[in-house]
Amino acid sequence: MSFRWRQDGWLGGTRWLCSPNQGARPAGATVSLVVLHNISLPPGEFGGDAIERFFLNRLDAAAHPYFATIAGLQVSAHFLVRRDGRAVQFVACDRRAWHAGRSSWRGRENCNDWSVGIELEGDDDSPFAPEQYRVLWRLLGALRRRYPVTAVAGHSDVAPGRKTDPGPHFDWAGLAARFPGLALPAEVSGEPVDRLG
C-alpha cells in the first residue's frame, strides 16, 4: 500500500488512532526534524495492543506491574511501526505530538514543536525487523515530500542522559545511505560529538 497525504497531515496507508495527547504547533513552526524512538509494552515484549492503549490513555494499570508506573502519563507519537511493518498514526503531522519531552537538537529547544516522532516497536536489546525498516524508509520519504525535513535524530540525541532509544541496534548507516544530505547524530555523520544537544 502506498502512502498518500491528506490535507490535514494524516497519512493514507496507515491505521489511524487519534491520540488525545497532542496540541497545535507554535505559530510559524516548521517540521524539519524526525525523532526516532523505540517502545515495547511491557518492556521487552512485542505484540498486543498495550502501546496503542498507552497513547490513547486507555492502558489498564492492573494488567501488568509495569503499567501501573506509566498509566498516568500522557504521551504520544505521530507514528508507530509494529514488528510486522504495520504503521499506525496517532497524531496528524501538522500538529504537535508529545514524544520528545525536555529536548534539544543542535541548540534548538523543545523538539516536539518542530519535529515528527516515530516509534519503532522494539527495545535497546533487540535488532529491528526488516519489515520495520522498509516501512520506516517509506515514512521518511513521505515526510520529506511534505515537509522540509533536514535532520533525523534518536531520542537519545535530543535528550542525552535521559533517553537511550532507538538503541544500539538501529541501522543509522542504512538511513544515511538512503537519505544522503540529512543531518544525523554526530556519531553517525562523523562530526565531533556534542552530547549537550
Query: Tens-digit pLDDT profile for the chain (197 aa)?
Result: 589 999 889 999 999 999 999 999 999 999 999 999 999 999 999 999 999 999 999 999 999 999 999 989 999 999 999 999 999 999 999 999 999 999 999 999 999 999 999 999 999 999 999 999 999 999 999 999 999 999 999 999 999 999 999 999 999 999 999 999 999 998 665 553 333 33
Alpha-carbon dihedral 109, 94, 20, 41, rounded to 10 degrees: -70
pTM over 0.85: yes
Cα 91 to its chain centre, rounded Å, is: 11
Angle among Cα 128, 134, 136 to the nearest 5 degrees reads 75
Q: Please say whether the beta carbons of 67 and 61 come within 8 A.
A: yes
Q: Distance between CA atoms of 91 and 79, rounded to whole angstroms?
A: 8
The residues spanned by each domain of the chain are: 4-189
Q: Distance between CA atoms of 168 and 133, rounded to whole angstroms?
A: 15
Q: Distance between CA atoms of 40 and 122, rounded to whole angstroms?
A: 5
Q: Which of 119, 121, 187, 191 is catalytic?
A: 119
Is 119 a catalytic site residue? yes
Cα 64 to its chain centre, rounded Å, is: 24
User: Among 80, 45, 50, which Cα is nearest to 67's?
Assistant: 50
CATH number of 4-189: 3.40.80.10
User: Among 57, 52, 46, which Cα is nearest to 15's?
Assistant: 52
Cell of 171: 541501522
**Within 41-184, where are the H helices?**
50-55, 67-70, 130-146, 155-158, 172-178
Q: Distance between CA atoms of 119 and 106, rounded to whole angstroms?
A: 21
Beta strands 87-89 and 79-81 are antiparallel
